[in-house]
Structure formats: C-alpha cells, structure tokens
C-alpha cells in the first residue's frame, strides 16, 4: 500500500514552539522526570488565573451559549471591541469592521489566506512569532524576513525592510509588543512603518496581543491610530492580557483605507462564514473583559508578580558568562544571546535537546523564531521566582559545562 503522506503545502511550514523538543519533554515526563518549562506563554498554567469576573460570567453564560452566532460574532462583544478602538484612538471603526475568532491565531490565518496568491511576499520580523511565517507559507505566499536589531533593543530595521520590498510585496507584519524579544515600539518606528506601507501600498498586519502587558509604566500605541489612508488589520484577544489562552477568544479589527480593500474584505467575510463562527462562550468573555477593569495591570506594575519575575530572570541570565539579554519592556519573554565565541553552537535545536536531557529545563531555540543564527533562545518568565531561580541556575550549570567542552 502507498504510504499516506502529508500535503506538499506543508513543506515550508513549521511551528517549533510545539515542535520535536516538546515531544521529547513529554516523553521524559511520562518517564517520571519533572521538567521546568520556560517554553510556552500559557499564562493560566503558571497559577496566574484569569480574572474571576470572566470565569463567573463564563459559567453564567454557558447554558445560553450553545448556538452558532453571526460569522463575525455577537453584536455586544464586537461593540466592546469598537469601544476599545476608541480608547486606542483607532478611528472610524464600526461593529462591521470587527471579527471575533477562536483566538487571534484563527484570524491571522484567515486574513493571510484571504489575501495571498502564490508567490506574494509578506514582510515578517526576524525573530518572529512563528505562526506568521508558517501561515504565510501555508497560504501560498512567501515569507520575507526583515531584521530586528538587538543593538537597538530589537527594534525593526526600517532600512532592511525597505531593501526587501519587491513588486510582489503585499503586506507587512509587526508584532508590538513583541514575542519573542519583549520589545515595545516607539511612535517614530511605527510612523516609519506607516510611511513604508503607504509608499508601497502594503497592508499592515499588527499583532497587539500583549498591549496591556507593559512594564515600568510604559504605554502602547496602536499603529492603526497613526493613519487612515493605509489598510490595517489589528489582532488582539484575551489569551495574554486576560490570562485566558484556553477560552480561545480573539478579535481582528479592519481599519484605515477600507475603500481600497472592498474585495479583500469580501474574501475575509467569506472565510469567516465558512468556519461558521467563533466559540460563543469565548465571544461573551470578550464582552465581560473589555467592559470590566480586571486585566493584567496589577501583575505587571512595579512589584507585581510578572514584573518581579522579569527582573529576576534578567538579573540571573545576565550573570552567566557570555549571555546578554535586552531587558523586555513588555510581554512575557526574553531572547538571550549566547556569545558564539564561548558557545560555538552549530544546531540550536540540538542545544535545546541537550539542555532538556541534562538539566530538565525546556526552552525554545532561537531559530524556531526564524532568527538567522543558532545563537539565541527564548525564555518565558511565567514560572514563579523559585522555579525561575532553579531553572536559570540549571541553565548556568549547563552552559558552564558547554564552555568546557
Ligand atoms: N500572537 C502572538 C504574538 C502570540 O505570542 C500568540 C501566542 O503566544 C498569539 C498571537 C496567539 O494568540 P491566541 O491565543 O489569541 O490565538
């Protein structure tokens, strides 16, 4: 019998955050090993429970949430997103411009599928949240990575972005606040991206899922608030800011030059209808979350649990010889660099395997985020301070051994 092979569409599709190293970790857990996980931004799994108001409303709403809804979602939560846009100064958004999804992920995938023809290019940051590279490939497009510069706090290199534009470039992705680097983009950079998008008629996809997960009193600007003559798709949701990854509640806002995008919007509407609707309990949770006051604010404020964990992870990692880290201004991650002179790593997935096998610490290798060289890894600073101290201690011990090889 002929073997059943996967589709050739998957040839360039990967998602290393849940890749082979995680499979190995699962196997080790089954064998009874306890592993410290610095690999995934699953907030509630680290004792950071979702706001009680959301959980209670979810329970209350459940008996009446068994039906399909409109494909874009229920009116009231979409209206709550419109109000959110007003707060974020994204102009001209009506309920019609808001799509609810099973997490932002579904909408990101839908929006790329609706846009791209074979060979169309999309500018994606390097490092990236790898869903973008994967989904552009799966949609038949070509991911083209622009450089984010560690030396300037991981800000996008606008000159590199410009240099990579071709007649096939259709869109530009930014992740702000950023996963995996924790960067938060200043308005000048956002304005620079708007200028590039305007000049080259690019659609801007802005991922703002960490827009309330900000440290040191920082504020966040939505790029869509900076222009009305460029088409913006802005993605957000409850997963991180409201610690509800499992409720799969996200939204997408279409704003700016909608007139130019009539046909594209028709495509978005069709794909939204094909999947019928987002889960209804999750939609209702959006209404509760955006109408209330409970977000991640207290956890990221100075002295809050996440702020303390960020500071601790940064301090401990930067004490290790040959490890440097840009201190995150936002989100849940840092992306340490390993000096190649001290750590001549040829294959960083192998590095992650070895760290897991020797020290039972799970990280994700930098190339899993489409980073150019095997000299970085991502750390999630969600574990409590005791676990973080233990985990970074084990990383330090492992690196000490690595230097002596
Ligand atoms: N966008 C970014 C930048 C993320 O880091 C993640 C999850 O880690 C997502 C989107 C996924 O969001 P959701 O849970 O809403 O699908």
Give 145-197 pLDDT, tens digit per residue: 999 999 999 999 999 999 999 999 999 999 999 999 999 999 999 999 999 99
As a whole number of angstroms, the distance between CA 399 and CA 342 comes to 9
**What is the arrangement of strands in the sheet containing 203-207, beginning at the earlier edge strand?**
98-102, 249-256, 231-237, 203-207, 169-175, 121-126, 142-149, 155-156
As a whole number of angstroms, the distance between CA 403 and CA 405 comes to 6
Least confident of 40-44, 67-71, 218-222, 230-234: 40-44
With contact defined as beta carbons under 8 Å apart, do 231 and 257 qualify? yes
Residue 345 Cβ contacting ligand 1 at under 6 Å: no
Q: For the chain, list the domains and their CATH numbers.
A: 8-49+298-403 (3.90.1150.10), 52-291 (3.40.640.10)
* Beta-bridge partner residues of 136: none
Q: How far is CA 13 from CA 7, 135, 144, 370, in A?
A: 11, 7, 14, 12
Please determine, for residue 88, whether its predicted confidence score (pLDDT) is greater than 90: yes
If phi > 0 it is left, if psi is from -120 to 50 it is alpha, else beta; for residue 360 that is left
Please determine, for residue 293, whether its predicted confidence score (pLDDT) is greater than 80: no
Residue nearest to atom 7 of ligand 1 (CA): 41
pLDDT of residue 13: 86
Please determine, for residue 107, whether its predicted confidence score (pLDDT) is greater than 90: yes
Q: How confident is the model at residue 44 (pLDDT cuts 50, 70, 90)?
A: confident
Residue 285 Cβ contacting ligand 1 at under 6 Å: no
Helix, strand, coil share of the chain (percent; to 5): 45, 15, 40
For every residue of 108-135, DSSP letters joined together read HHHHHHHHPPTT-EEEEEES--THHHHH
As a whole number of angstroms, the distance between CA 202 and CA 401 comes to 48
H/E element, 280: helix 280-291
Three-state DSSP state, 338: strand
- Range 56-62 average pLDDT: 94
Q: Cα of 399 to ligand 1 centre, how many Å?
A: 30
- Range 112-129 average pLDDT: 97
As a whole number of angstroms, the distance between CA 119 and CA 117 comes to 6
Q: By C-alpha distance, which of 318, 356, 311 is closest to 336?
A: 318
With contact defined as beta carbons under 8 Å apart, do 249 and 285 qualify? yes
Q: Cα of 141 to ligand 1 centre, how many Å?
A: 21
Q: How confident is the model at residue 58 (pLDDT cuts 50, 70, 90)?
A: very high
H/E element, 402: helix 385-403
- Range 126-154 average pLDDT: 96
Residue 105 Cβ contacting ligand 1 at under 6 Å: yes
Enter the tokens of residue 250: 């996200």
Please determine, for residue 295, whether its predicted confidence score (pLDDT) is greater than 80: no
210 Cα nearest atom in ligand 1: 3
Instruction: Please give the DSSP secondary-structure letter assigned to residue 88.
Output: T
178 Cα nearest atom in ligand 1: 3
Residue to mutate, 103, 212, 275, 378, ligand 1, most ligand atoms under 8 Å from C-beta = 103
Q: How far is CA 308 from CA 36, 50, 224, 385, 389, in A?
A: 18, 19, 32, 8, 12
Q: Cα of 118 to ligand 1 centre, how many Å?
A: 25
pLDDT of residue 248: 97
As a whole number of angstroms, the distance between CA 241 and CA 228 comes to 27
Q: Cα of 182 to ligand 1 centre, how many Å?
A: 14
Q: Cα of 403 to ligand 1 centre, how many Å?
A: 35
Higher-confidence residue: 372 or 20? 372
Residue 179 Cβ contacting ligand 1 at under 6 Å: yes
Model confidence, pTM = 0.96
């Amino acid at each position: 019998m002929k073997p059943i092979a996967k589709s050739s569409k998957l040839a360039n599709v990967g998602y290393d955050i849940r890749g082979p190293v995680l499979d190995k970790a699962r196997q080790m857990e089954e064998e009874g090993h306890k592993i410290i996980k610095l690999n995934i931004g699953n907030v509630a799994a680290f004792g950071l429970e979702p706001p009680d108001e959301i959980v209670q409303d979810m329970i209350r709403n459940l008996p009446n949430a068994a039906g399909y809804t409109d494909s874009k979602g229920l009116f009231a939560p979409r209206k709550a997103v419109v109000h959110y846009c007003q707060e974020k100064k994204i102009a001209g958004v009506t309920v019609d411009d808001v799509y609810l999804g099973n997490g932002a992920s579904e909408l990101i995938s839908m929006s790329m599928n609706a846009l791209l023809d074979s060979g169309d290019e999309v500018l994606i940051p390097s490092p990236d949240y790898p869903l973008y590279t994967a989904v552009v490939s799966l949609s038949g497009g070509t991911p083209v990575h622009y450089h984010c510069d560690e030396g300037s706090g991981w800000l996008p290199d606008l000159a590199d972005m410009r240099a990579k534009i071709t007649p096939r470039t259709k869109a530009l992705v930014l992740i702000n606040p950023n996963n995996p680097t924790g960067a938060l983009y200043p308005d000048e950079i956002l304005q620079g991206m708007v200028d590039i998008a305007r000049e080259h008629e690019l659609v801007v996809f802005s991922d703002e899922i960490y827009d309330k997960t900000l440290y040191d009193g920082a504020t966040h600007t939505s790029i869509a608030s900076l222009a009305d003559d460029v088409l913006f798709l802005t993605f957000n949701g409850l997963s991180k800011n409201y610690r509800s990854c499992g409720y799969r509640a996200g939204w997408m806002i279409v704003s700016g030059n909608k007139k130019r995008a009539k046909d594209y919007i028709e495509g978005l509407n069709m794909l939204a209808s094909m999947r019928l609707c987002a889960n209804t309990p999750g939609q209702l949770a959006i209404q509760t979350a955006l109408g209330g006051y409970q977000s991640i604010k207290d956890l990221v404020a100075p002295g809050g649990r996440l702020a303390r964990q960020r500071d601790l992870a940064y301090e401990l990692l930067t004490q290790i010889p040959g490890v440097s880290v840009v201190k995150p201004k936002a989100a849940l991650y840092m992306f340490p660099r390993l000096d190649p002179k001290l750590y001549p790593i040829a294959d960083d997935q192998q590095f992650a395997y070895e760290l897991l096998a020797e020290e039972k610490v799970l990280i994700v290798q930098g190339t899993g985020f489409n980073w150019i060289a095997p000299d970085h890894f991502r750390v999630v600073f969600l574990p409590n301070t005791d676990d973080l101290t233990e985990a970074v201690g084990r990383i330090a011990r492992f690196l000490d051994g690595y230097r002596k090889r």
